[in-house]
């Protein structure tokens, strides 16, 4: 039976939804990518697609999955819960995907997991959803993530604010699962270390003015503003804080790790800004192999967070399919920890052919991701390292890599 052509998600087609699929495949597999190609996280979604595309091309160049090609079907979540659920339903029911990567926003990932992935028994790995709620979600073990929980990020963020010398801060966070969870975890750590959170204020995305929230945040001697947001709304908050003379010092979340922030605001106004985001140790063998391959294909190093975690999600799902010898969702789910966790021979990014050979020989493998260790715990969570980032020379630079100290 002739296989359908592979449908990749290049920049020319990322604005499209789903390409119709043939009713059945003789071999190979399909992974659906639930990405925000529009909405608040558009820039991250378009960038993350490149990570999934690289993984797919490497796998297919080294023999493919289960005797056939790995195909990628991309669907736009619009950074919206209902749109994301609808897109996931189409990926499963129309495109016939065997597993899903996504979504990026926790507010989309959670309803997709509970209403689609668990119900349809389709494994799902989010490369960016960090809400602590996911850890205890009733997802029948079909939801995993390749990025650390905000239970870890909030800890590191709280320690960073204290290490910067701040005694009193205020927090503004986007009013969704991501913002709420990270704000809570930050406050726990910062206050445990003796710091004071003067105000913790939710804000709605898309507003023209946040001056009211900023005025309240600036009360009670707050020395800096901890901002948990995305660039689309974060730029407005920071610009208005500066215009009103309310804050000049900021601590940013991972969602603001984007060159667009300094381009929109002016780098000179962010000289006292630091941020935190998940990031692998750059000179680790796994990260180095990934970065080299990415630069060779796209002529630049990964420009955004979550490209590496998206790559890892596709790669480990494909490895689980190969290990299971099947595209059955439950079998893929049950094989994920077998290929991602120790013990086993280490498999680095790009070593697909080596991994398949070992699997066929009945040997254990342990995939070491581009983003770091992918040892899934009982909840499908991973640990990880974090970058302290700053804005310099028109881009985002890593000041240092730190590990959570719980």
The domain limits of the chain are 29-149+283-373, 150-279+386-402
147-193: pLDDT as tens digits: 999 999 999 999 999 999 999 999 999 999 999 999 999 999 999 99
Fold of 150-279+386-402: Rossmann fold (3.40.50)
The rounded distance, in Å, linking the Cα atoms of 267 and 195 is: 28
Q: What is the pLDDT of residue 406?
A: 60
Q: Which of 120, 135, 74, 61 is nearest to 383 (CA)?
A: 135
Tell me how crowded residue 2 is: count the other CB atoms within 10 A of its CB: 6
What value does the mean pLDDT take over residues 77-94? 98
Angstrom distance (rounded) from CA 238 to CA 197 = 19
- 211 neighbors 237 (Cβ within 8 angstroms): no
- Please determine, for residue 224, whether its predicted confidence score (pLDDT) is greater than 70: yes
Two structure tokens written together for 104: 């990026």
- For helices 177-192 and 150-163, what crossing angle results, to 10°? 50
Q: Is the pLDDT of residue 55 over 70?
A: yes
State the pLDDT at residue 320. 99
Cα 167 from Cα 222, distance rounded (Å): 8
CA distance 36 to 45: 5
pLDDT at 130: 94
Q: Is the peptide bond before 5 cis (omega within 30 degrees of 0)?
A: no
Q: What is the mean pLDDT of the chain?
A: 92
pLDDT confidence of residue 6: 29
Distance between CA atoms of 303 and 24, rounded to whole angstroms?
37
* CA–CA dist 238, 232 (Å, integer): 11
pLDDT of residue 402: 93
Of 283, 238, 281, 282, the closest CA to residue 256 belongs to 238
Q: Which of 14-28, 95-109, 139-153, 391-405 has the lowest mean pLDDT?
A: 14-28
Task: Identify the band that residue 394 occupies on the pLDDT scale cut at 50, 70 and 90.
Answer: confident
What is the band of 118 on the pLDDT scale with cuts at 50, 70, 90? very high
Judge whether 29-149+283-373 and 150-279+386-402 match in fold.
Answer: yes
**pLDDT surpassing 50 at residue 17:** no
pLDDT of residue 8: 39
pLDDT at 3 over 60: no
Select the highest-mean-pLDDT range: 5-9, 279-283, 368-372: 368-372
- pLDDT band of 38, cuts 50, 70, 90: very high
The DSSP bridge partners found for residue 182 are none
Question: Per CATH, is 29-149+283-373 categorized as 3.40.190.10?
Answer: no
- pLDDT at residue 386 is higher than 60: yes
User: CA-CA distances (angstroms) from residue 204 to 84, 145, 162, 216?
Assistant: 19, 26, 27, 15
Q: 19-23, 216-220, 367-371 — which is least confidently predicted?
A: 19-23
């Amino acid at each position: 039976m002739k296989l359908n052509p592979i449908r990749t998600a290049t920049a020319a087609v990322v604005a499209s939804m789903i390409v119709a699929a043939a009713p059945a495949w003789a071999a190979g597999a399909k992974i659906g990518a639930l990405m925000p190609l529009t909405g608040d996280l558009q820039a991250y979604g378009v960038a993350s697609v490149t990570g999934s595309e690289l993984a797919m091309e490497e796998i297919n160049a080294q023999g493919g999955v289960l005797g056939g090609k790995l195909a990628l079907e991309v669907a736009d979540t619009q950074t919206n819960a209902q749109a994301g659920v609808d897109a996931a339903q189409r990926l499963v029911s129309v495109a016939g995907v065997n597993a899903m990567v996504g979504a990026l926003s926790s507010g989309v990932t959670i309803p997709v997991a509970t209403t689609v992935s668990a119900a349809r028994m389709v494994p799902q790995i989010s490369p960016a959803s960090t809400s602590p709620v996911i850890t205890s979600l009733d997802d029948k073990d079909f939801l995993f993530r390749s990025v650390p929980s905000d239970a870890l990020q909030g800890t590191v963020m709280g320690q960073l604010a204290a290490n910067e010398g701040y005694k009193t801060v205020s927090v503004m966070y986007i009013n969704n699962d991501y913002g709420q969870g990270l704000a809570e975890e930050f406050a726990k750590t910062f206050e445990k270390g003796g710091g004071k959170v003067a105000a913790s204020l939710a804000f709605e995305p898309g507003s023209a003015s946040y001056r009211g929230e900023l005025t309240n945040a600036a009360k009670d001697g707050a020395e800096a503003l901890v901002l948990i947001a995305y660039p689309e709304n974060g730029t407005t908050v920071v610009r208005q804080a500066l215009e009103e003379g309310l804050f000049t010092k900021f601590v940013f979340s991972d969602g603001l790790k984007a060159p667009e922030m300094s381009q929109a605001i002016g780098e000179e106004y962010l000289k006292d800004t630091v941020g935190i985001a998940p990031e692998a140790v750059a000179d680790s063998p796994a990260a180095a192999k990934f970065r080299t391959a990415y630069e060779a294909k796209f002529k630049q190093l990964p420009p955004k967070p979550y490209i590496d975690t998206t790559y890892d999600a596709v790669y480990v799902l494909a490895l689980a399919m190969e290990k299971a010898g099947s595209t059955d969702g439950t079998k893929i789910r049950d094989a994920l920890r077998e290929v991602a966790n120790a013990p086993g021979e280490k498999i680095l990014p790009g070593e697909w052919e080596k991994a398949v050979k070992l699997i066929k020989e009945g040997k254990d493998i342990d995939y070491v991701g581009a983003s770091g260790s992918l040892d899934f715990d009982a909840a499908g969570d991973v640990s990880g390292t974090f970058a302290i980032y700053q804005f310099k020379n028109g881009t985002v630079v890593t000041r240092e890599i730190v590990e959570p100290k719980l």
